[in-house]
Amino acid sequence: MNYSFKMNLDEDTYEYLKERHELAIERIRSVCDKCETDDRYYPYFNQVALFLRSVDDILTDVLGGFYFKAPISRRIKTNKDLYIELKQKYYENSYLNPSYAVRRLGKETGQILSAVYAELRSCIIYAYSGDIQQVLIREELFLEIYGMFVGAKQENEEAPKAVEIKEAYRAFAYDYLDLMLEDSLKKSFADTESLPKSIVMEGDLSDSDYLYDYGEYISDVELSMATYMATLSDEDIKLMADTFTEGYRKGFVATGKDISIKKTVEIRYFLGFERVVRQAVKNFREIGLEAIIHYSTPSFMLGRSVIKRGIESTSVNRQFEYDHEHDKVLYFDHGFMERKLECYRDSLEKIKEEAGVYGGPACIEGFGEKAFAPVDKEEKTTLDADTKKLLTRYTSRAGEILNRYVKGEERSFTIIAFPTPAIGEDFEDIFKETIGINTLNYELYRDIQQKIIDELDKADHVHIVGMNGNRTDINVKLVDITNADKETKFENCVADVNIPVGEVFTSPKLEGTQGILHVKEVYLNGIQFVDLTLEFKDGIIDNINCGNYEDEEACKKFLDTYLLFNHETLPIGEFAIGTNTLAYSVIKKYSLEKIMPILIAEKTGPHFAVGDTCYSHEEDVETFNPDGKKIIAKENSFSAKRNEDPSAAYLNCHTDITIPYDELGSVEAVTKDGEEISIIREGRFVLKGTEQLNVPLDGM
């Protein structure tokens, strides 16, 4: 196969980089020929050099136009060889594993050298993309550190201290930030001719062999997914793609945004869904949007983590990402933060025209993979208090910068989810049921949900109480309506940006929101939370705990990272009532509680989001429900600060936590006069006009 993707380098730059690369790889090959360092460190450098040699073989053939024409047997073997080191039984004795590296090389040196090797793993994706520059700078980092150890041996000196290696690593990150960020942002907002897009539009999708051209890890899940998709009719594929792209278009219409001023849409998907994505690209072209398709960032310096933002395949070993996602603590200080913000701003300025016409992401989530319960190793890097504060400040300021170039009030998004074969032997049945969930009757749910909203609009607050071991007891304060004929507190969500249909939601008033939110078990971004308890005072998390770890400090670190995202606390940004009882019945029928994505799970009970509101950066955009009423609950006392101090207004996170119907004792709208209007009681809808929502529940 000869793909038409472009590498975007002029001839002179390419020749210069090629010359540097030839010198670098020649030196890397020599590392494997003889031991030039202390015997203790040579196994590390030899292992990394062997990896870089294998990556170089791919890069050379990609640049020469040979790799994608190679026999499929070679491409399969290459994929297995590249990722075998991350397989659990091999990872235990790999320098990629900080525990092993520390055991062999010492605590500080082992930790930093493991981090360097983890960053060098990003060369795989850069090699498949023909990105000689990104591969080269990482090869030169390796050679610089290797040279420090060679020099020490030649001078009969002690091996370099960890602080010296760390400084070399920091200098690399600092010096190349502009190059790395510019490359990353171009791929996210401007590159419409990437390798992944070429595979989607030009590959032979009737045979799963095309999957090996990505360079991502390919397991039986991706192969089975692509094989199954090849059996579906063109009509089925079009139905899935049309639901997906029409939801995106409706998102602009529902919020009164002008889609005609946008020229690009970013498509994210799980590998194996290429037939749907190809049709989606064609659909988007019909409404004037060209697709951007890019890899999830492979670089830890640029934000690689357990959570992916781009195309995605099954993770070889999510513990690897967990072990290294805080490696930035090795170099992230105030000076680095300011440098990164400057580079971020400059990079966006260079692509400001492309960023201005970017419409937002359209995502196809795959679900079915076993939920991840991370092991917290004492040898891994962890964030200290100062770095947490700096990272929080960086995220806030970077969000402000991004919103100047990709304006929140002008962009939209859509998300749809489907199971992958990782879900087990019932995959095909669950897939068909999910298509049914994603294509439910719009008008039916619109009308039922409007009845719920009509009652909620009368309420001062909503009282939610758990049952069956769920300790939730919380009052959610609602904003006041001044004109009941023209205004509403809740949005009627009818399958546009958030597919499937099935919720009414609002941005609560913080002052007066009090109580406990508890879930016995929940999966957020693929990570399991056990016995999660949040206590709110005036809408702010006042206390938080979980049962993931017996050790209180380990729990705190876990929650800080994966729920608070390094903020000291978070406000409640959303309250919603999910109405998709069909989705709930399917979850129960196939025991999918542990793997169902939040996109669907949030529709199966009331849910509460911590972080930003649902209308982050869109507070001043007028939004209306299908009945014509204007939605007025679009901000809280955090986001109200946006004009004076945006860094205090936006938190750049929004995590939904759902109470399932079988843990739900009651949901009641309470008026200022104390009248209680029951919406749900003991897991069943009891409000007049909502009875049909109980049909799937009664059939369970």
**Where does the pLDDT of residue 473 fall: very low under 50, low under 70, confident under 90, or very high at 90 and above?**
very high
Convert the pLDDT of each residue in 577-623 to its tens digit. Answer: 999 999 999 999 999 887 888 888 889 999 999 999 988 888 888 88
Tell me what pLDDT residue 557 has: 86
Spatial separation of the C-alpha atoms in residues 570 and 535, rounded to whole Å: 11
Neighbours of 19 (CB within 10 A): 10
Convert the pLDDT of each residue in 84-138 to its tens digit. Answer: 999 989 999 999 999 999 999 999 999 999 999 999 999 999 999 999 999 999 9
From 200-209, 290-299, 441-450, 474-483, the region with the lowest mean pLDDT = 441-450
Please determine, for residue 190, whether its predicted confidence score (pLDDT) is greater than 90: yes
Tell me what pLDDT residue 239 has: 93
What does the longest C-alpha to C-alpha distance in the chain come to? 85
* Sign (positive or negative) of CA dihedral 490, 494, 495, 497: negative
One-letter amino acid of 216:
E
Please determine, for residue 167, whether its predicted confidence score (pLDDT) is greater than 80: yes
Convert the pLDDT of each residue in 553-574 to its tens digit. Answer: 889 888 998 899 888 999 999 9
| 368 Cβ contact partners less than 8 Å away, ≥ 6 residues apart | 221, 419, 420, 421, 422, 423, 424, 427, 595
One DSSP character per residue, 26-63 reads HHHHHHTTS--S-TTTHHHHHHHHHHHHHHHHHHHHHH
How many CA atoms are closer than 13 Å to the CA of 62, on its beta-carbon side?
Answer: 26
Please provide the distance, in angstroms rounded to a whole number, between the alpha carbons at the two ends of the chain.
49
Please determine, for residue 311, whether its predicted confidence score (pLDDT) is greater than 70: yes
Please determine, for residue 518, whether its predicted confidence score (pLDDT) is greater than 90: yes
From 357-371, 444-458, 503-517, the region with the lowest mean pLDDT = 357-371
Tell me what pLDDT residue 61 has: 95
Tell me what pLDDT residue 463 has: 98
**Where does the pLDDT of residue 495 fall: very low under 50, low under 70, confident under 90, or very high at 90 and above?**
low
Tell me what pLDDT residue 251 has: 87
Which has more confidence, 699 or 280?
A: 280
Please determine, for residue 300, whether its predicted confidence score (pLDDT) is greater than 90: yes
Please determine, for residue 389, whether its predicted confidence score (pLDDT) is greater than 70: yes
| 161 Cβ contact partners less than 8 Å away, ≥ 6 residues apart | 109
Spatial separation of the C-alpha atoms in residues 645 and 481, rounded to whole Å: 27
One-letter amino acid of 21:
H
Structure-token match 């090849």, residue found:
230
Convert the pLDDT of each residue in 446-465 to its tens digit. Answer: 999 999 999 999 999 999 99
Order of strands, edge to edge, in the sheet holding 606-611? 491-493, 503-506, 572-578, 606-611, 654-658
Structure-token match 């051209």, residue found:
213
Structure tokens belonging to residue 96: 């990629």
Mean pLDDT of 160-178: 96
Please determine, for residue 496, whether its predicted confidence score (pLDDT) is greater than 80: no
Tell me what pLDDT residue 347 has: 97
Please determine, for residue 48, whether its predicted confidence score (pLDDT) is greater than 70: yes
Phi-psi map region of 81: left, alpha, beta (phi>0 left; psi -120 to 50 alpha): alpha
Please determine, for residue 647, whether its predicted confidence score (pLDDT) is greater than 90: no
Chain mean pLDDT for the chain: 93
Mean pLDDT of 326-337: 95
